[in-house]
């Protein structure tokens, strides 16, 4: 790849060249211009000029956008109504027609047992693994990965690194883009740093890494807005113990595949809970059971807000006390709507806005967009925002009604260090003031904050 004097209104690159045998990491914050670089490689970028523009031919992509496009294609082809049963979607083995020739690779990514699962039955981390396997087995000579470690457990991250580090020896060029400083892989030979809309420096990793200002990751600018917005209340919330979730001998399964069993979980107000475990162990399924989005909520001995599931309550009665952020909720936001409308929809627990909001609600939603520094993006269609911007809007959507139970399934996917720490600092204040009880799924050790009072490890309950 060779770029010279490349100019786009959000990204300027003086000179950037890669060579066969090299492996590159591209690092930059969410608003640095790094997303435009990925758009350029994928052919999605328009309105730019360059003196030299020599891009990889037919590269393979593992990006948030590619994952979303595949999900929407699967939804479009859903034949559940015709079949009169749930259509699992395209099977993993159908994505990998030559899977027998790549058994060791499938084994490395722990995907052997997933071959007969449909795409929509996969966890977010498994879906990312599938995209990577499809590209690796499809003969691509250039592999572009956007935040490949997001959604993967620690073991999978190690497996991924082992698989990627040897690709240049096979003549496959690797470009990894990350937004978090700690995600820069040690095995990449070269590093490029994008900052403030320009390529700041590029070269051997050991020469570029010291030039990155590590203080940039601690530039929190939203605290005053946070305190005046979410934390405003006539009086400090009193600590009153209330049962929010009660699950006895909980279990979950997909067809004949057991995810977990024998799970006993009690969450009372103030019991901020961290859920951990490897990809595919049922973390997201557990949250779906709690929110009522999985039919196993009726098969389990389960109480939500003190009421036994299946006793006549509607899912909307349950969800009006919940704020939810998850990969599945993010995927489901396919409908037209602006950033402002998505934040407002959190007041009505809907995907899309179908009620006319009042002036007070609109003012509150705009305040949340101000917190995000998105005031000028209020009317921009949600789908035109970057993945990280979409995720931040969905976090505001969950917080706007100050719910009793805040359910966050890997909420910081795609966020840079500054945005990640801002969110976690806000959650710490919420916990300290007993404003909501937090149920949080994460693979990242750097997100295991002291305010979590209990930790549920599903790996020990998996079968």
Per-residue model confidence as pLDDT tens for the chain (463 residues):
999 999 999 999 999 999 988 999 999 999 999 999 999 999 999 999 999 999 998 899 999 888 888 988 988 888 777 767 777 889 999 998 787 777 888 888 888 989 998 988 888 888 888 998 998 888 888 999 999 999 888 888 998 998 899 889 888 999 999 999 999 999 999 999 999 999 999 999 999 999 887 655 444 444 455 555 655 544 445 557 899 999 999 999 876 778 999 999 999 999 999 999 998 899 999 999 999 999 999 999 999 999 998 777 778 888 999 999 999 899 888 878 999 999 999 999 888 888 888 999 999 999 999 988 899 999 999 999 999 999 999 999 999 999 999 999 999 999 999 999 989 999 999 999 889 999 999 999 999 999 999 999 998 665 4
The pLDDT, as a whole number, for residue 217 is 46
The pLDDT, as a whole number, for residue 159 is 86
Q: How, if at all, do strands 243-254 and 257-268 pair?
A: antiparallel
User: For the whole model, what pTM was predicted?
Assistant: 0.89
The pLDDT, as a whole number, for residue 106 is 87
The pLDDT, as a whole number, for residue 455 is 95
Report the side by side order of strands in the sheet with 198-204: 52-54, 2-8, 11-17, 198-204, 190-195, 23-27, 173-178, 142-146, 60-62
Domain annotation for the chain: domains and CATH numbers: 1-59+140-217 (3.40.50.300), 64-138 (no CATH), 223-460 (3.40.50.300)
The pLDDT, as a whole number, for residue 235 is 43
């Amino acid at each position: 790849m060779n770029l010279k004097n490349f100019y786009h209104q959000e990204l300027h690159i003086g000179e950037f060249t890669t060579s066969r045998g090299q492996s590159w990491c591209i690092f930059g914050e969410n608003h640095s211009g790094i997303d435009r670089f990925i758009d350029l490689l994928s052919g999605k970028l328009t309105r730019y000029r360059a003196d030299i523009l020599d891009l990889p031919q037919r590269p393979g992509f593992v990006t948030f956008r590619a994952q979303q496009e595949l999900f929407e294609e699967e939804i479009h082809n859903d034949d559940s109504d015709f079949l009169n049963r749930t259509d699992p979607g395209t099977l993993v083995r159908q994505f990998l027609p030559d899977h027998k020739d790549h058994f060791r690779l499938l084994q490395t990514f722990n995907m052997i047992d997933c071959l007969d699962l449909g795409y929509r039955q996969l966890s977010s981390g498994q879906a990312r693994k599938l995209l990577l396997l499809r590209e690796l087995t499809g003969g691509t000579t250039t592999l572009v990965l956007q935040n490949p470690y997001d959604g993967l457990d620690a073991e999978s991250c190690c497996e991924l690194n082992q698989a990627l580090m040897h690709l240049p020896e096979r003549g496959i060029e690797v470009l990894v883009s990350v937004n978090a400083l700690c995600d820069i892989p040690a095995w990449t030979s070269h590093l490029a740093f994008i900052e403030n809309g320009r390529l700041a420096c590029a070269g051997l990793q050991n020469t570029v890494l010291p030039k990155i200002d590590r203080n940039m990751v601690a530039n929190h600018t939203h605290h005053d807005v946070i305190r005046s917005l979410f934390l405003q209340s006539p009086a400090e919330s009193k600590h009153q113990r209330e049962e929010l979730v009660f699950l006895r001998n909980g279990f979950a399964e997909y067809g004949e595949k057991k995810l977990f069993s024998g799970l006993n979980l009690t969450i009372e107000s103030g019991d901020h809970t961290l859920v951990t475990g490897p990809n595919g162990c049922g973390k997201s399924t557990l949250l779906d059971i709690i929110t009522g989005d999985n039919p196993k909520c009726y098969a389990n001995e389960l109480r939500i807000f003190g009421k036994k599931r299946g006793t006549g309550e509607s899912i909307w009665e349950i969800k009006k006390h919940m704020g939810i952020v998850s990969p599945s909720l993010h995927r489901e936001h396919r409908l037209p709507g602006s950033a402002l409308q998505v934040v407002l929809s959190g007041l009505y627990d809907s995907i899309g806005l179908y009620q006319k909001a009042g002036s007070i609600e609109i003012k509150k939603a705009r305040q949340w967009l101000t917190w995000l520094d998105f005031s000028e993006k209020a009317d921009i269609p949600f789908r035109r925002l970057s993945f990280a911007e979409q995720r931040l809007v969905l976090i505001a959507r969950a917080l706007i009604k100050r719910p009793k139970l805040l359910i966050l399934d890997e909420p910081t996917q795609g966020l840079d260090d500054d945005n990640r720490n801002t969110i976690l600092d806000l959650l710490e204040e919420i916990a300290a003031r007993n404003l909501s009880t937090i149920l949080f799924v994460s693979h990242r050790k750097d997100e295991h904050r002291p305010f979590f009072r209990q930790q549920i490890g599903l790996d020990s309950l998996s079968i």
